[in-house]
A and B are shown apart, each in its own frame.
Chain A
Amino acid sequence: MRILEKKSLKIRYLHRKAGLTLHVLLTLLPLAAGAVYALLYSVGLAGSLAAGFTLRYWESLVSRGTLWQTFAYSAYIMGVSIVLSYASALAMVISARGRLMERKGSRIFYLPLAMPALVLAFFAFRFLSGGGWLASLAFGSGLIASPQEFPELVNDPYGLGIIFVHFLLAFAFFSIYLDRVYANERIEEQVQSAQLLGAGYRQSLRRVVWPMILRKTWPAISLYGLFVFGSYEVPLLLGRSTPEMLSVRIVRMLSRFNLDDRPEAFAIVFAYMMLTVLLVFLLRKSKGGLR
């Protein structure tokens, strides 16, 4: 091939390469840069307190249990919210035989999706707190004599308020999503086939519906779970200082006057980023995982 021909081909090749390189820079570079900075800060090699390599911040986090506590609490909130919302949504979709969204007024399921988490958290605070609407109802019914007698539903140690908001959002999402999956995978026909082969209704639910739907939807469950795990606005308004969800803990530690908290905060940042990368890789490698 002659020189001019090679040059023309090369220009087209470079054009495509430039676009793909830009994509990698936009997706991986901020993450990589942030992770590297966080790691260096956490071992005393970057930042205003940098005094040389040290593992004391990591040791402090681990020995005090802060790292595990934060991750465990976030995992607990994630687990409870997702399990409750998924189970409820699945029950609804199965009882509707995958025709939930065909019902009159099914558009209401989209309403929670039209509200940002911050606004729902604000509503939940006004609704569930000791001086909130539910407490007013309890007072009016004679169940309580003062706001202090109302059970702690927000800023509580069990994260009930946080779970309530995430449940609301996830339930709406999973209802719409599972209904679509039920129809697309023709689950109803599969159930009928199973019944023709002698399976009872419960058996067909257990042996056909549940495995099929779970296999199809677990990447979505995992991804949604990761969103809840890293959520910020909801625990910011409805959580308490101990235990604290991951994102809130990180931001609070970085905003404190005690500068010693900053390297520890960046250690948590780094650990969380690595956990996310690992989970995404695992999701991808698994059967029926990310496309």
Chain B
Amino acid sequence: MKPVTGKILWALLASLFVLPAAYLLLLSFSASWHFPLLFPDALTGKWWSLGFTSRFALLGSMGLSLGIAAGVSLLSTFAAFFSSRWMALSRYRSALLLSAYFPFVLSPVVLAAATYIFFVRLGWNGTVAGVAFAHFLIAYPYAVILFSGYWNERLLTMDALAATLGAGSFQRYRRVLFPLSRGVLALALFQTFLISWFEYGLSSYIGLGRVPVLTVEVYRYISEANPHVAAVASLLLVFPPLLMLWVNKRFLIRLI
């Protein structure tokens, strides 16, 4: 490919990728922006300040989403870390890993629709606990699949060696396995966080629209034809992953 063509293509690609965030940023600061205007007629910060008032309560939504995502992330990552280790030592490893793929590939909202009756029976529909548990059901299998490639022969052998040196189970986790696994644990924590943070369909269905996580709020303002507040909420949604991109871009790509 000729250098000039390559440069043009690269510029087009960059524009395509940057465009959504740039557009939404402008939309969130525009007083109004309708057809046929190419740019907003005036800029204002009112949507951002309104967004955090009690009427729109985006700060509360963000806090709720952060809380749920952080909890789901911690629980699913560590549950999967332990269970994937047991799986690696089990002769049914292959079948156990396969069982994690089913909920992983299924559409979350279809899983919600199919299991909704059970949430109702447990009294969890329309509750934060119900939404968080539903998020856990999709984040946990993902984390198991992520860790499945991690438990190699070398690591398991090192664990066994530490046992013969006198380390009990807790000590082996504390002194050997967790320190060695910092990288993959961080990756799993961030990616399961994103699974929960980004989830709309499942949250909306199980939460009955009553659990105001940020994704539900984004959809609410879109359907209420309030694009400016929807843009503010969208940018709040995008903020943590953009931060991750700045820290370590590897955290963003979901390994499959």
- Measured CB to CB, the residues of A under 8 A from B are 16, 19-20, 22-24, 26-28, 30-31, 33-35, 37-38, 95, 103, 105, 107-120, 122-123, 125-127, 130-133, 135-137, 139-140, 147, 168, 172-173, 176-177, 219-220, 223-224, 226-227, 229-233, 236-237, 246-247, 250-251, 254, 265-266, 269, 272-273, 276-277, 279-281, 284, 290-291
Are B105 and A132 neighbours in the complex by a CB distance under 8 Å?
no
Distance in angstroms between the alpha carbons of A132 and B37 in the assembled complex: 9
Are B105 and A37 neighbours in the complex by a CB distance under 8 Å?
no
Distance in angstroms between the alpha carbons of A280 and B73 in the assembled complex: 25
Distance in angstroms between the alpha carbons of A233 and B14 in the assembled complex: 25
Residue of B83, B99, B100, B205 touching A251 (CB-CB under 8 A): B205
Shortest CB distance A271–B (Å): 11
Q: A115-B21, A136-B37 are in contact. Are A223 and B252 (CB under 8 A)?
A: no
Are B242 and A226 neighbours in the complex by a CB distance under 8 Å?
no
A-B contact count (CB 8 A): 225
Are A118 and B1 neighbours in the complex by a CB distance under 8 Å?
no
Are A27 and B102 neighbours in the complex by a CB distance under 8 Å?
yes
The count of chain B contact residues (Cβ–Cβ below 8 Å) is 77
CB neighbours of B36 from chain A (8 A): 135-136, 139-140
**B178 located at the interface, meaning its Cβ lies under 8 Å from any Cβ of chain A in the complex:** no
Shortest CB distance B143–A (Å): 11
CB neighbours of A168 from chain B (8 A): 16-17, 20
Mostly, the B contact residues are: helix
CB neighbours of B64 from chain A (8 A): none
Are A220 and B110 neighbours in the complex by a CB distance under 8 Å?
no
CB neighbours of B252 from chain A (8 A): 110, 113-114
Shortest CB distance A21–B (Å): 10
Shortest CB distance B29–A (Å): 14
Distance in angstroms between the alpha carbons of A112 and B24 in the assembled complex: 13
Are B256 and A220 neighbours in the complex by a CB distance under 8 Å?
yes
Contact sample, A vs B, 25 pairs, CB 8 Å cutoff: A16-B90, A26-B141, A27-B102, A31-B102, A95-B6, A111-B245, A114-B241, A114-B245, A115-B241, A116-B238, A119-B218, A119-B234, A119-B238, A122-B231, A140-B36, A147-B35, A172-B17, A229-B107, A230-B105, A230-B106, A246-B110, A247-B110, A277-B102, A280-B101, A290-B101
Q: A31-B103, A113-B253 are in contact. Are A119 and B13 (CB under 8 A)?
A: no
CB neighbours of A173 from chain B (8 A): 253-254
CB neighbours of A109 from chain B (8 A): 17
CB neighbours of A269 from chain B (8 A): 110, 113-114
Shortest CB distance B248–A (Å): 10
The 9 closest A-B pairs by CB, nearest first: A230-B107, A34-B114, A114-B241, A116-B198, A232-B201, A131-B35, A123-B20, A139-B36, A23-B83
CB neighbours of B38 from chain A (8 A): 133, 136-137, 140
Smallest Cβ-Cβ distance to B84: which chain A residue = A23
Shortest CB distance A107–B (Å): 6
Distance in angstroms between the alpha carbons of A87 and B103 in the assembled complex: 28
